[in-house]
Amino acid sequence: VSLSAAAGELDFIFDQVRVKATGGSATFTTRLYTSGEFRIEYGAMPETTVLVGYTAGVFATGGQEAATDFTAYAGGTVPSGRSLAMYQLVSADALSDTALTFARPAADPFPVRNRLIYPWLAHNEYFTLGLAVVSNSPDACRLRITAVGMDGRPLPVVPPSENPRYVTLEPYAQYVSLIGPMFAFDGGTADGWVLVETDNPDPYGIQGFFLAQSFFGGILDSMDGAVASSETGTTLLFSRYTGEVNEFTEVTVVNPNPADAGIALYIYYEDGTEETADALIDPNGAAVFTLTGSGSAYVLVDATEPVTGFAMNFNTAGSLAGQPARFLWESRGEQVSPFFVWSQTDYASRLDLVNPNDDAATATVALFDSAGQPVGNAVQVQMGGWFNTRLDITPDVFGFNKAASADGWVRVTADRPLLGTMTFGDPDFQFSQASLPLLGQPTHYTIHSHLAQGMAGGVNYLTGLAILSLDGANDVTVDVYSPTGSLDYGIETTLDAGERGLGLLSEWMPQGPWPRTSGYLAGTADRGMFAYEIFNTVNEEFFAAVPAQKFFPVQEEADDADNGWPDYAEPIDDYPLEVRGQLSPADSGYFLVDLGDGFIDEIEDLFVFTAPHDGWYLFALYPDHRYCDVDLYVFDSEWVIVGDSAYGVPGVEYVEIELQAGVYAVGVSLFDLGWFTSGGYHLVVEPDAIP
């Protein structure tokens, strides 16, 4: 699509549009006038081609709906469902002078506001998927859960099972299930991914994670997983790679877009060699890459559309570990792992680091015990640009006493932002292993979307928590919620600077509601925390681990009428926080921002934010409707713009910025409501790095 402009009009030229029936392609132009009228120019089209307009479609988040072929309804009525097809080119002969009737579209039965992507699905005699979703909202919401095949279409199921599946999630409730009981897959097996959509406009209104489970002889022998997320990117990175004898790495890439995604996958070895693989993924489809090369390495994926993914590190002796796709903007100069463990005969831990920068990086890796005291000696490593390194946490490398076991937490400090993964398990990662991303942002409000402390399906599960505080006098709470959302039990404790709390749930809460194999955990930390949830069994058959999921308290915009003026800017009452705001066409802007070159923007809503300390901050603006265009500005106390984002649609506006302690203003600008008559947004303010 190209664009040309003239006085009072805009031309959108659609080129190389595929023609139904005859094949080939054609060009047509849609001309928009300032009066609000429009016309379609057919002149550039072959005589044997006609254009059929269909504007009753509704865009679906993730592009799940298949396009309607109008020729199948010649002489009849075209259904008005939620098709993505807004036009179609067909040959005149295919219609044969036959009329098409378009039914009046019904209201959208499921207005999608947010989504979670579970980027792995396998269901057969050897593997299955378990997933959990938790509501953080005081209002009930609906979920649409779709099991999507590798070809991008909903997987076929046997009636009365339905795909997608609709679920009503009550306030603060949990939905948890294995994939098998959710969908009766045709043929009994499935491969692909899972999309969970919600009508809840809060970007953190639902949270969840998943666990990939493997079986040997019908017995669960290994599992691991990751947090479900809505994030996508055109570059993915997996910092851990395994390809030695009896090992292989499997990378799944998911394309949640209504367009093809070209994929280039690279394995970069520590010795400077590389391997590549390519794929073209269908709209909403997925691709799996099985990698077996030997050596220390990492995997990088470049894509022509924003994608996401999941990597599995397998040992054929009977273990697996999972890694979520990491995005370049997640790299940090300082990161931690709240957990490591080593013993001569039972446990091992390994750190994989990647330098995703053009320049070389120097990193210092230091170990600490639960009280914050050093374990052994810090180790310094150097990595060239786009190189990796692997560190086994052993007495030989870090110099701690090999006569005793060691456990604690890890701190990585570097002169460039890095990405990394912590893996722990048995000494050779043969029978048990779990991988976790290093953490570079403290969370103040956490969710652990599932717990298992007791017998379920013949397995005696244990759940542990590792909670690290880097600030002193840090008041921490951990609460247990039932699947229906009721608060059943809770504790309060205080952690000092550098202190790591570690224990099974029965040790954190000796009087807690155990045994329990459903429900979830929620936590708070006044000064922020770094948390892992670790699953095990009484007989230690396997490990699985997932980082905490985050949420924020919500502040309602108090004065939508006047808070666009600097004198009436509304204070942001806490930090971190979500502000829930409203926009309407009548809210036409007050504070004018001179962007230079004759461009002026209008600020509808202004907020005052007090940065409590020097450091990096993240401001994110989420419109309720993905096709509502909003812009985001950060001003200093002199009303000078120090950060801004005007990405466009569909998307989220982000400002990552280093601020000194002090007072700032945050401006929300409504550029275009799209086809909506009103709308809202969530403005999130949170720390972007370890203070």
What digits encode the pLDDT tens for the residues 304-345? 999 999 999 999 998 999 999 999 999 999 999 999 999 999
CA distance 453 to 460: 8
Structure-token match 């060691």, residue found:
406
Question: What percentage of the chain reaches a pLDDT higher than 70?
Answer: 87
Tokens of 475: 């008041």
Average pLDDT in the 495-507 region?
97
Stretch among 31-35, 524-528, 577-581, 610-614 having the lowest mean pLDDT = 31-35
From CA 660, how far away is CA 614, in angstroms rounded? 4
Tokens linked to 175: 């939905």
- Residue 158 has a pLDDT of 94
Name the helix (H) or strand (E) containing 277. Answer: strand 274-281
pLDDT computed for residue 84 by the predictor: 39
Q: Look at residue 55 in the predicted model and tell me its pLDDT.
A: 41
Query: What is the full DSSP assignment across 229-266?
Result: B---EEEEEE-----STTEEEEEEEE--SSS-EEEEEE
Cβ atoms 452, 376 nearer than 8 A: no
Whole-angstrom CA distances from 356 to 55, 265, 299, 685 are: 44, 15, 11, 26
More confident residue, 491 or 57: 491
Task: Return the structure tokens found at 656.
Answer: 């990552």
d(CA 27, CA 15): 4
In the predicted model, is pLDDT for residue 520 greater than 60? yes
**Stretch 60-76: mean pLDDT:** 56
In one-letter notation, the amino acid at residue 153 is R
How far apart CA 505 and CA 488 sit, in angstroms, is 14
- C-alpha 594/C-alpha 615 separation (Å) is 27
Q: Is the pLDDT of residue 39 over 50?
A: yes
246, 319 Cβ separation under 8 angstroms: no
Among 211, 258, 237, 436, residue whose Cα is nearest residue 326:
237
pLDDT in tens, 232-272: 999 999 999 999 999 999 999 999 988 899 999 999 999 99
Q: What is the pLDDT of residue 63?
A: 40
Tokens (6 digits) for 299 = 């995997």
pLDDT greater than 60 at residue 126:
yes
CA 25 – CA 23 distance, rounded (Å): 7
Nearest alpha carbon to residue 236 among 269, 258, 266, 271: 266
Taking the C-alpha atoms of residue 673 and residue 36, their distance in angstroms, rounded to an integer, is 15
User: CB neighbours of 459 closer than 8 A, spacing ≥ 6?
Assistant: 220, 537, 541
Give the model's confidence band at 52: pLDDT under 50 very low, under 70 low, under 90 confident, else very high: low
Number of H helices, E strands in the chain: 4, 51
Query: Which tokens in the block code for residue 285?
Result: 């489809």
- Residue 577's DSSP bridge partners are 685
- Judged against a pLDDT cut of 80, whether residue 85 lies above it is answered with no
* Cα three-residue angle 463-327-146, rounded to 5 degrees: 65
Q: Which of 412-421, 504-513, 593-602, 669-678 has the lowest mean pLDDT?
A: 669-678
Instruction: Look at residue 659 and give its three-state secondary structure.
Output: strand
3-state helix, strand, coil in the chain (%, to 5): 5, 55, 40
Phi, psi of 284, deg, nearest 5:
65, 15
Q: How confident is the model at residue 65 (pLDDT cuts 50, 70, 90)?
A: very low
Token pair in block for residue 128: 């299955």
Which residues, 6+ apart, have CB-to-CB distance to 596 below 8 Å? none
d(CA 669, CA 555): 19
Q: What angle do CA 296, 301, 303 make, to 5 degrees?
A: 170
Alpha helix stretches (DSSP H) within 417-576 = 505-508
pLDDT reported for residue 499: 98
> Which residues on adjacent β-strands are paired with residue 655?
619
Q: Is the pLDDT of residue 47 over 60?
A: no
The SS3 assignment for 278 reads strand
Q: How would residue 87 be classed by pLDDT, with cut points 50, 70 and 90?
A: low
Mean pLDDT computed over every residue of the chain: 88
Domains, the chain, in order of start with CATH, read 2-102 (no CATH), 110-230 (2.60.290), 231-330 (2.60.290.11), 333-439 (2.60.290.11), 441-551 (2.60.290.11), 554-687 (2.60.120.380)
Its pTM stands at: 0.86
> Which of 179-188, 218-227, 666-675 has the largest mean confidence?
179-188
Closest CA to 276 of 247, 251, 254, 256: 251
pLDDT of residue 45: 52
- Give residue 268's pLDDT: 97
Contact call for residues 208 and 133 (beta carbons, < 8 A): yes
**pLDDT at 48 > cutoff 80:** no
The answer to whether residue 480 scores a pLDDT higher than 90 is yes
